[in-house]
Structure 1
Amino acid sequence: MNTLKTLAMIVAGSFISTTSAIAGGSVLPGDGSFTQYGVVDGWTVYVDVERESCLIERVDASANVVQMGLTADHKLGYLGVFSKTADLGSGNKEKIFIDLDGTMYNAKATKMKKNITEGYSGGYILADNPQFIEDLAQKYTMTVFPEKEASFQVDLAGTHKAMELARNCNAEQG
């Protein structure tokens, strides 16, 4: 299993078929301005001013970025992982499996370049599965098994408190 150096291999997809119809760039965080809302357990909560929604972000010791939040319509959750070291194209799709402390999920993934921070590539998964979202908040380790790249792990420490702060932030946005 590779280290966090390959974190950027996690990418967009859907956990339930209804999300694939709207899984496009328009539901992901905008390129507009972001303001810091708060910090908890190593996670920073940002307001996406353009989308009027909030996201949580953590940067690890290797400068990999993990982001979680809601789409602009607040109907889907997303999870993104980005790295400066990955060389990924945009739009490529790949099947992935995600293990959250023994509970397995799968998604169709779409790779992308750049989001909030210039020079990063990686991607997102989209989710409307309440159990997946609950597991992200409650579990401690996410292991990702991409179809083409090596598997890797993401530490989920602090996600529960960060997601709670993001819920408060989203409630204040409208």
Structure 2
Amino acid sequence: MTDKNKQVATVGGGCFWCTEAVFQEIKGVEKVVSGYSGGNAPGHPTYKEVCSGLTGHAEVVQITFDANQISYEDVLVIFMTTHDPTTLNRQGGDVGTQYRSVIYYHDSDQKSIAEKVLKQMAPYYNDPIVTEIAPLKIFYKAEDYHQDYYRNNTTQGFCSFVITPKLAKLRKLHADKLK
């Protein structure tokens, strides 16, 4: 992959372990890094600080992908269909602003595409989409033990009961996009 084809998307759909596991399965995705963004607390936040809800940061992933293999629009469609974009500050049992649904755009093209995708997806949900669209200001990589979490902890309870079913849904909805 040349740098010309490489793009980066930053999204938050609740727990970053879930979102990371989803995008690690997608054809054209080079890497997925779990982290934090969107807050205003000074310094590099820790997981404990973000979980307190006081930093303003959301749990997010940064996805590096080959635009010749998958488009930014397709990345967002997969994102929107593998979490609940209609629940404000909540995904399943995880509650708080750190679990908000958010798309952090890197440029004006990404912003336009994000707005378009949200409009296209709206009819498929019974409730209004509450996914925030905001400019990426800074991304902080999460601690090392959060990286590749599902791959390293597949038998852990949360992984078995939350992430594994999410991956089954991904495989059903987006089989043509899998590695």
TM-score in terms of structure 2 length:
0.28
Greater strand fraction, Structure 1 or Structure 2: 1
